[in-house]
Amino acid sequence: MNRHFLFLALLSPALLALDLSTSVQALPAGAQTEWIVAGPEELVLYLAFDTATVQERLPSHLRFTTIAELASGDVVWARDFLGRHPTKRLWGVSFLELVRARTFTIDGRAPSWPADGAFALWFARVAPSDPSTDLGPGRPLLALDFWLPDHAYVSYMSRKGYYASYGAGRLSPSPRGQWSGSLVVDGLTISAECTPAGPVTGGPGSAGMQTIFPPASSAVTDLVRIAFAGHREQACEETAPSWIFRGSHPLASAVALESPTFQFGYHLRGGTYRHP
């Protein structure tokens, strides 16, 4: 067995014994639903993308955070990216995740999907169009896409105020410790590989909060606030080209900002809120 996979296998029981839910920040009052994710394992890739390709999804009260904006604020990776891609100054910043989880429930109901079934999400960093606007606690993100391999649960999420659509996502490890993921949706096919390697960072003290807005093109109007704790992260031996994108979807033209990572072990609690 691959030594990195053996390490994770030995670590997993200890992770399950920790009650990370007690480390999660309290959400603001007024949540209409309860979303719980526990025991996740995911492949994550940060991407620059052409904002013009998804402009119709941007609500009028938000704007995309650009590479140039972050570079001007002395964010090292943004400056390095512009050094390699000077014509992409106004591109946005996003992340793509392929995720499977031991627990995924909204108001107690779980999806039904295959043993290797996974959900996938593509979120972009945003900021208020009016700098004086307070978007509430947590980093603001725009849900450009959220896919699940369960048609009935996608409908359930929409009724509960969550933006989602159907996508055939898969994620599973090999006996040698390499994780393989894939996603098939209209206009897009993704395949990804990751062999976790090197030190594990994060832990019980790794916590945060995010506010997720639905796209303007969606019938969903509620926003989602989430809080999480216990994030652990490990580098992939493979580089970004181990992720292959095919199709006409805007993601097919995105450019990797850094090497992909394997993330796992956190506890997430979220809920829908009426848009102020």
CATH number at residue 169: 2.40.400
Q: What is the pLDDT of residue 20?
A: 61
Q: Tell me phi and psi for residue 253, to 5 degrees.
A: -105, 5
What are 208's two structure tokens? Answer: 């945060």
For residue 156, give the H/E element and its range: helix 151-159
Confidence of residue 263 (pLDDT cuts 50, 70, 90): very high
What does the pLDDT average to over 87-107? Answer: 97
The predicted pLDDT at position 12 comes to 42
Per the structure, the complete domain to which residue 24 belongs is given by 3-273
* 188 pLDDT more than 80: yes
In this predicted model, what pLDDT tens digit does every residue of 210-253 receive, in sequence order?
Answer: 999 999 989 999 999 999 999 999 999 977 678 999 999 999 99
Please give the angle made by the CA atoms of 91, 96 and 99, to the nearest 5 degrees. 170
pTM, 2 dp: 0.91
* Cα–Cα distance, 252 to 189 (Å, whole number): 9
CA–CA separation, 251 vs 124, rounded Å? Answer: 12
Number of domains in the chain: 1
Residue 167 binned pLDDT confidence (cut-offs 50, 70, 90):
very high
State yes or no: pLDDT of 15 exceeds 70: no
Q: What is the pLDDT of residues 57-95, one digit of tens each?
A: 999 999 999 999 999 998 999 999 999 999 999 999 999
Flag whether pLDDT at 7 surpasses 80. no
pLDDT band at 14 (very low <50, low <70, confident <90, very high): very low
> What mean pLDDT is reported for the chain?
91
pLDDT at 23: 81
At residue 18, the pLDDT reads: 53
**129-148: average pLDDT:** 96
10 pLDDT above the threshold of 70: no
pLDDT for residue 42 is more than 80: yes
Residue 257 CB partners (closer than 8 Å, separation 6+):
46, 47, 48, 77, 81, 93
Task: For residue 142, give the nearest of 240, 213, 90, 66 by alpha carbon.
Answer: 213
pLDDT at 76: 94
Give the mean model confidence (pLDDT) for residues 108-127: 96
